[in-house]
Chain A
Amino acid sequence: MILRILLLLAFIIAPLNTALAGDFGSVPVLHDGRIKPLDSFARIHLKMFSGRESIEGLSAQDWLMDTLFNPPESFERRVFKVGDPDVREILKLPKQKGHLYSLAEIGPPLDAARPIIETLLERDEKTLSRAQEALIDLQVHRVIYSDIMRSLSLIVPLSIDPPQSLGLPEQDIYTALDFQRIAKAGEDKLKSVIRKKGDTIDTYTEDELELAQFMMRISVLRDASASNVIFRIIPPQWTGTEEWLSPVAMVNNGQGSPQSAEYLELWKQAAIAYSMGDRAALNAAFEKIYDSALTMLPGHYSGAQLKAEVLYNTFHPYHIALALFGLAVLMCAFYAANPIYLFYYAGVAALVTALGFSGLGLALRMFILDRPPVGTLYESILFVSFIVPLLSLVAERIYKNALSVFAGALAAFILIAISGGLAITPDDKQVLVAVLDTNFWLATHVLIITGGYGLCLITSVGAHLHLGLAALNRNPKPLHKNMTQAVYLGALLSLLFMSVGTILGGVWADQSWGRFWGWDPKENGALLIVLWLAWIIHGKISGHLKNWAVTSLYALLGVVVSLSWFGVNLLSIGLHSYGFIDGIAYGLLTFIIVETLFIGGCYALIRKREGACA
């Protein structure tokens, strides 16, 4: 049923974005270990080069199609963003709008800077400055872009005519694959000419010269694309191999088959249609390419997953959810300032709708990746951004004071807003590392732990609100009682989830790594949250921690969770290597300082007021 709804949505929405390209965006490609539609391939690479998903009025799909089928124009297209002023200085690049440059513009200066780049590549990554890293990245991007440009070099129409003496039947359009037919004959003829006349071309006849030039051009073409492996559009053709291959690699490795021959022929038809500007023929060709690719897909993968991914890319459910969560925060703030019920209901409606989009995003990701949606740090944030507002709705049903909606929407808004920066690779739908590739443990340990993070965050946000309102002296007794109760309940549930999740993690670690506990940073982080909560709850029950101290410590739970969730990943040590990230240390430090100041400030204010009252 869910699949049907998704496909219906895909049917309705996908054409809006892919009207120009037909089924091109849904054609499968193996990239970074995952089968994905060309739409994702296009977006990932265009974003990698230019930092955006469209360029010069072209969508990512249209950009990719033009790069594949029209390499000369792609050579001149400004797609490389050189944002670092030092890199622009090293490469002596002129000022350009948006700091975008073409391959033609960055190629020669990068060649000139090759000695510098080679020296940098030999150095330890950690010793590189930001500009040096950017320079290396630019060189890597240039290589990838060149590879994409040459991906279809075997089948794109060429403006080269073969010498008649080689006997290739006359055609309107020739491709490199056509020239393969006469390559041996050409070689033999040229060898015979060289044997007779040597390599001094002045003595060659016109026909011999034409032959020599032709053979040189096809040799250059062959060499330029010889190592091309990036565009893996051809599924495994023979039993015993699971490797997807690029057209060039398939021919070079002798992996062609009757099916792949037909498949490449369809790509050739598409290339010809593109060069003729015949959109109808192009769309028809891609329809056939897509259908043909489906027949070659591995058994466990379906076209519906490809369509669902195109839908996800087109639709951006989290962008919509982000806007709606923001709207819910605003409505609740308006309601607090001016208690008109319209604001209240608008806030709740925005939250519920946002939750729907967030849930749709999760469901699509689960369907596309065929696993629980918590395999990476990025995914765990998205999952928590779903759990937090869901819990806040439950709390809102009990307390009906808009504070829960405000807290849930605010937390989800912040989480989704920072999630993009924490997706470590350009593809946010990564393949799992081996240890995580188990649905059972992902659906138990990881879901419970991330659910626990969510509970901790909502508890912390609730405590923040409680402290803030008390500091502003807007904390009437019934509200105080409700909020104390809600935050306490949140803390108890958080402790339950974090404890069970941590123990389950130990059991998984025992199965995977042969030990229950290894004082790994990530394990210590989880334990830190459990101990923090156990300390506050015990302190509260035993009476050692008083009212506002307890609330302040609950509020600081956000800091403890952020240290455990993100902070330990900065250490880059331990067995949880799949979560390592760079570049968030300052952000985390700022967060901790702001939190400490806010919570400490509120606590001091409240204590001062209470002291004055006493």
Chain B
Amino acid sequence: MLFYTLPYLLFFLPITLVLFFYGKFLKIDRKIILILLSAFFYSWWNIYYLPLIIFSILMNYYFYKKITSGNPNRKKNLIFGITLNILLLIIFKYTDFIIQNINLLLSTNISYLNLPFPLAISFFTFQSITFLVNVYDEDLLDVKAKDFFLFIIFFPQLIAGPIVRYRHMMPQFNNESNWMFNKRNFIIGLIILFIGLVKKVYFAGTLSEFVDMGHQNLGELSFLSSWILSLSFTFEFYFDFSGYVDMATGSALMLNIVLPQNFNSPLKATSVIDFWQRWHMTLTYFLTTFIYYPLLKSLKQINFLSTMLITFCVFLIAGIWHGPSWNFILFGAFHGLGLIINHVYKRYLIFNISKFILWFLTFNFINISFIFFRTKEIENIILILKKMFDIKSFFYGDLLIDKLSMKFFNDINLFICFLLSIIVCMAFKNSYELINKR
């Protein structure tokens, strides 16, 4: 079920709120109510994926028990648990991609397995790994099975994050005052849900039609339309993702649960480092805490070069985590490279550049990087980039004549949406700033 659909907005969410806040009268445990409703929410799309998430939850709970059993093999159990999680992710998400590349490299003809791609597997895998490491590091004891079940399957964060931590979530679920209807949280939650809805349906929806059209007619791109297309996708992507997270945050807040911040006006970033501290922040936290720091700590000598190599590797992983395709790996590599340049500048070349120029450079870097994200075929990525940097055509007056540019300037709704996107992204406060005002 998706947050912006009528079944969610008109039926699922209201019913959930009523059952959660008035469950006391029905004498049903609130956590069980949320687990059952979340399982229903997850199954709405395809009920056949439900067994996999249940299997993953049971498997991770088993490893939690093993790690905290006082057994001397704690570390082995942790490593085994993490490995199985990653293996599960690889099997369901990357098998065909691996087969495709083996076939390409070795000229073999191995058939694709066409395994199902369970919804949210990337998110619940990372969340489970976070849990196991936290259990190991911080001795999380006394985790009840239903608490862990709820932690993984809680519907607002299940499909597209944010990636939450057990220590952040469970005290909120256990706090009995959160089981009472809170008018203030309900209203703020509703406002944030509405903001998310506008971002997703109006902004992302309007821009996506144009972006899809552009990508179906890449051969007709000009210098101008290639820039309009890439910028449109940048805004579409931001509104789509942050809108969805806003709807998750708003829905959770209506249930008195505060989710961690995942976006902090990322298009206002003034460096690539700054961007990753503002974009998909819970993923950045995961990458830093569970991949970057452990890899660095495992080195005998930490120096600048090794740190940069690890940064690059971490972003390759981040890239492929987004999807089983080379364009995502290139997206990760491009950001890894951007971060290295940013660190080199910070360390060796720092000189005063105006904030506006820093923002301008960063924004364009992000805009170009999102072309890798959106365009699956490498030759099309090259085509768009060639057009964007085809300065010659700019000077030869090849500006407003192509179909895509005409469509953009003639479609008043699209044009206004694009202008509003710039204003909202650059001048407005974000949804989380609104929550913190309360």
Chains A and B belong together in one complex: no
Hey, which bits of chain A sit against chain B, CB under 8 A?
Answer: none
